[in-house]
Structure 1
Amino acid sequence: MTPQIGFFIVVFILLVIVLSSFVSVKQGTIVVITVFGKYRRILTPGLNFKIPFIENIYSKISIQNRSVELEFQAVTFDQANVYFKAMLLYSVLDQQEETIKNVAFKFVDDRNLMQALIRTVEGSIRAFVATKRQSEVLILRRDIVEHVKEQLDVILEGWGYHLQDLQLNDITFDDVIMKSMSQVVASNNLKAAAENEGQALLITKTKAAEAEGNAIKISAEAERQASQLRGQGVALFREEVAKGMSVAAKEMKDANMDTSVILFTMWTESIKHFAENSQGNVIFLDGSTDAMQQTMKEMMALNQIHATQVKK
């Protein structure tokens, strides 16, 4: 071997040693270093130095959020099958050394971690749903999520992880149960619609009855006032007639005339009125002298009563 070749070999070995002494760690990643299989330290994002051939990279752990979708089945207390579709969001708890050691060495690989995580979530949800009836499951979506978080937080912290969020995207039942639930909802909607329609009809009839009652009250009040005015009109008419007859009788008496003429005049005016406004009815009038005199006396008596009331 020539000296030149030996020199190039030494340079190459030194270059390999130098290059293997530096490790570039990406943002959002933590590198675990071991020495002869035993944990030594962690490398944070950026350019790091390690001892060549002695310190080895055991694993690269992502501290970013990770998600996984789940599909599984549970059975309710009343033996109804419930099908869940969920999305699990989790991440490394923090960047402390002890946490990173748990993440690196608790499980053989990510596959085993994922299997344990999924089975733990499914088991927690199944245990909760088994105590509830199928009619309660849909309205307890938030309670299920809170129950799972409460159960998993302690377990995941021991593994070095934290449950960020659990979303139950879909909750379904067997077709028979779904149809029966739809029928229940439809019947409840029909019942509510019937109740609303009945209440609307009751309100309409009540308002109509109130309006009719108010109309009757108004009509009765108007009729009462009209009757009162008619009575007052008749009374005033009679009063004026009595006054007129009294004046006429007095003037005729002063003129030495027979007051029977007044009665005769009223008689003829009445016949004239009957003739003009008659609708074919037959009216019998007593035109005898005795009847006329009796009517005159009654009129004079009314006049006398009116004069007495005026003096009082």
Structure 2
Amino acid sequence: MNRPAAFMGKSNRFLSAGIVGVVIALLLLSIVFGSWYTVDQGERGVKLRYGAIVGIAEPGLNFKVPFVDTVEHVSVQNQTILYDRLESYSKDQQPATLRISVSYRVPEARVEELYSQYGTIEKMVDRLISRKVPDEVKNVFGRYTAISAIQDRTKLGIDVNEGLKKSVLGPVAIDSVQVEDVTFSDAYEQSIEKRMMAEVEIQTKRQNLETERINAEITVTQAKAQADSALAKAQAEAEAIRVRGVAEADAIKARGEALKQNAQLIALTQAEKWNGVLPATMVPGGAVPFLNLKANTGNE
């Protein structure tokens, strides 16, 4: 009867020792594996000891005191938040609804400040950005008329971006602001469309008038060129006639001078033109052409 009781006592002691050994082994494993942690490249680790910040962990493998230190991960990558329905009024009192996206990030050097003041990025965004965006959009959009807000949307985004950067003071960097859409009332949209169509029509008419003016100038230029050509031709012909007239007059004058100097030249010219035939009829008392017969003296 005593042997089995002693055996059972030993078995219980072995079992207790095994359980203790397992607990110790698990504890050792927990200490070993719980002392190391990793931080991704796009994050920084806020290392806490009993809730107090004791350092910022860089990307890679890091060590912490087991059961004493904890690590909170904070993203330092660029993030975007969309504000879908922001209401505002333009300079000319036109109501509008805007959709704006804001890209931001937490600077690496200000991760500790972020955690100390806000705890998480979401809380920081809610308190710093989301509260400022509607007011800044109203301030900037109110400096634009409805037409200029549509035509200069890029500049509108730049102005909102600059305004947010100046008004948002804290552990965050505003990278960009995009005005993705501006919507006015249906009635105003229709009036804008009609106005744009009227402007296009006016511009088209101006272009047509300019084309007609250019064509008219071309026609005038061509007509002037033709007139100048005709005038030049007429002047050339007149000059040619004048030159011929001068030449003929000079020739006649020279001929007259020659005849004046030599009277026999007239008879010679007449003789050269005579065909040798005497006239069939003679006028009484008339002379025979080209014949100068001397009277007989009786010496023949």
TM-score w.r.t. the length of structure 2 is 0.71
Structure 1 equivalent of residue 227 of structure 2: 216
Q: Does 1:87 align with 2:127?
A: no
Seen in structure 2, the aligned counterparts of structure 1 residues 78 and 238 have a Cα distance that, compared at 3 Å, is closer
Structure 1 equivalent of residue 146 of structure 2: 134
CA distance in 1, matches of 2:258, 2:235: 33
Q: Does 1:189 align with 2:200?
A: yes
CA distance in 2, matches of 1:252, 1:143: 106
Code of the aligned partner of 2:131: R
Structure 1 equivalent of residue 40 of structure 2: 26
Code of the aligned partner of 1:171: V
Q: Does 1:63 align with 2:76?
A: yes
Which 5+ residue runs of structure 1 have no aligned equivalent?
263-312
Code of the aligned partner of 2:41: Q
Aligned pair count reads 253
Q: Does 1:15 align with 2:68?
A: no
Aligned to 1:74, the other structure's residue is in SS state strand
Superposed CA RMSD: 3.2
Structure number, greater radius of gyration: 2
CA distance in 1, matches of 2:91, 2:100: 21
Where is the helix percentage greater, Structure 1 or Structure 2?
Answer: 1
Code of the aligned partner of 2:153: R
Seen in structure 2, the aligned counterparts of structure 1 residues 230 and 68 have a Cα distance that, compared at 3 Å, is same
Structure 1 equivalent of residue 112 of structure 2: 101
Deviation at 1:162, TM superposition (A): 0.6
Code of the aligned partner of 2:216: K
Deviations 1:91-122 (Å, cap 9, x if unpaired)?
Answer: 1122x3xx222222333544433333233223
Aligned to 2:53, the other structure's residue is in SS state strand
Code of the aligned partner of 1:107: Y
Deviation at 1:27, TM superposition (A): 1.9
Q: Does 1:153 align with 2:157?
A: no
Code of the aligned partner of 1:186: M
Q: Is the 8 A contact 2:114 2:124 kept in 1?
A: no
Structure 2 equivalent of residue 5 of structure 1: 19
Instruction: Could you list the structure 1 runs, at least 4 aligned residues long, displaced by more than 6 angstroms after superposition.
Output: none
CA distance in 2, matches of 1:238, 1:29: 114
Deviations 1:158-187 (Å, cap 9, x if unpaired)?
Answer: 1x1111111222333223222322332322
Q: Is the 8 A contact 1:125 1:144 kept in 2?
A: no
Deviation at 1:155, TM superposition (A): 5.0
Aligned to 1:51, the other structure's residue is in SS state coil
Structural mapping, 1:41-56, within 5 Å: 41-56=55-70
Structural mapping, 1:162-311, within 5 Å: 162-234=173-245, 236-237=247-248, 243=255, 247=259, 250-251=263-264
Q: Is the 8 A contact 2:82 2:99 kept in 1?
A: yes
Deviations 1:196-243 (Å, cap 9, x if unpaired)?
Answer: 222222222222222212322321232233234334435555665673
Deviations 1:30-76 (Å, cap 9, x if unpaired)?
Answer: 2223233333322222222222222223x210111111222223211
Deviation at 1:244, TM superposition (A): 8.0
Aligned residues with identical type, % of pairs: 17
